[in-house]
Amino acid sequence: APGMNAAVRAVVRCAVSQGVECIGIRRGWNGLITGDIVKLDEKSVSHTINRGGTILYTARSKEFMTEEGQKKAVSTCKFLGLDGIVAIGGDGTFRGATDLTNHGIPSIGIPGTIDNDITATEQTIGFDTALNTALGLFDALRDTAESHARCIVTEVMGNKCGFLSLYLALATGAISVAIPEVQFDREYAIKKIRQAREEYGKRGIIAICSEGLPKVNGKNYGDDFKDQIIRETGIDTRFTNLGHTIRGGNPTLRDRLTASQMGVEAVNHLLENKSNLVMCVHENRITSCDINYALTLDHRY
Ligand code: F6P
C-alpha cells in the first residue's frame, strides 16, 4: 500500500539513531523463511518517503501459515540474531506477527492496506492515498459520462470492506453505492437513476459497487447491475473496474505522516520491551493495542 516505504524509512531512521542495526526482510514472510534480506542503513531509505509500492517487495505466504514454515522463519530470526520485528501489512501480516511473538520473537504490527479494514485503527496506511487516486479517476470518468450522457457503474477494491467505496461515493456524488456490509436495494437505485435522467435531465451518472460483493449471473456484481440499468431504464451504461490502479502511486501527506509516526513509535515500543502490539490511530493520535484484540474486531459498516 502507498505509504509503506515511509513506514520502513521511519523504522530504519529511528532504530539507527538509537544504535540499533536494521535489516529489511524482502517479500513478506516468504523472505523470512528463505532468508531474503537486505541490510538497511540511513542512506538506503533515502528518497523513499515519496514512493508508492514497497522497496522491500511483498508476497502472500501460504508456507508461513504452516507450523513448518514458522519454524523455518524462527530459525532465520535466530541465525540473524533478530531482537524484534516490525511487520507492515493487513490482518494476515498481524497473524504472522503474533505467531512469531509466540515463538519468542517480539513483533509489532503497522497497519498498511488500502482497504482500511483493520478495526483497531481509524486509518490504515494507504487508505488516504487510494481514496485520492480514485477520486482523480472518478473525475475523469465523469467527463465521459457527462459528454456521452452515460451511466458508469464502477467497481472499487476493498476486499470485504466497503470503506473505500462508501467514502468515494460521498466524495464523487455517486447516485448509489453497493457495499458488502449493507443490503443493496437495487430497485430503489434503478428508480433514482431513472428519475435523475427523466425528471432532472442528468446526463452523467456514476454508480459504485464494491469489489467484495458476490458475483451475480457469473458476472461481477457491478457488471450485472449495469445490465439491469440498461434493461430497465434504457440508459447507455458502461461497467468499469478501477482495479489495482488505486493501490499504487505516491503516498499523500496524510499517509506519509501516519506511516512516519507509526514507524517511530513501533521502534520505541520494541526498545521498551513491548511486543505483540499493533500501531493505531485513535482520535488523531498514535496509540497501540494488542494484536490479538485487533484481530478479533470487525471493522465494517
Ligand atoms: O488488500 C488489498 C487488496 O488490494 C484488496 O483491496 C483486494 O481485494 C486484494 O488486495 C487484491 O489482491 P491481489 O492483488 O492479490 O489480487
Centre of ligand 1 from the C-alpha of residue 242, in Å: 12
115 is catalytic: yes
Strands (DSSP E) contained in 42-148 are: 85-89, 107-111
Closest by CA to 145, choosing from 237, 24, 264, is 237
pLDDT at 296: 86
At 191, is the pLDDT very low, low, confident or very high (cuts 50, 70, 90)? very high
Output the CA 130–ligand 1 centroid distance in Å.
12
Amino acid (one-letter) located at 88: I
Q: Of 91, 99, 115, 224, which is the active-site residue?
A: 115
Question: Which residue shows C-alpha cell 506511516?
Answer: 259
Angle at 67 between CA 61 and CA 70, to 5 degrees: 55
Cα torsion 88, 102, 297, 277: sign: negative
For residue range 252-295, list pLDDT tens digits in order.
Answer: 999 999 999 999 999 999 999 999 999 999 999 999 999 999 98
pLDDT tens digit sequence for 198-231: 999 999 999 999 999 999 999 999 999 999 999 9
pLDDT score of 170: 98
State residue 298's pLDDT score.
59
Q: What is the pLDDT of residues 30-76, one digit of tens each?
A: 999 999 999 999 999 999 999 999 999 999 989 999 999 999 999 99
Ligand 1 atom closest to Cα of residue 90: 1
- Residue bearing the CA closest to ligand 1, atom 11: 159
Ligand 1: residues whose CB is within 6 Å? 90, 113-115, 157-159, 211, 244, 247
Between CA 149 and CA 247 the distance in angstroms is: 29
Please give the number of the atom of ligand 1 that sits closest to the Cα of 1. 2
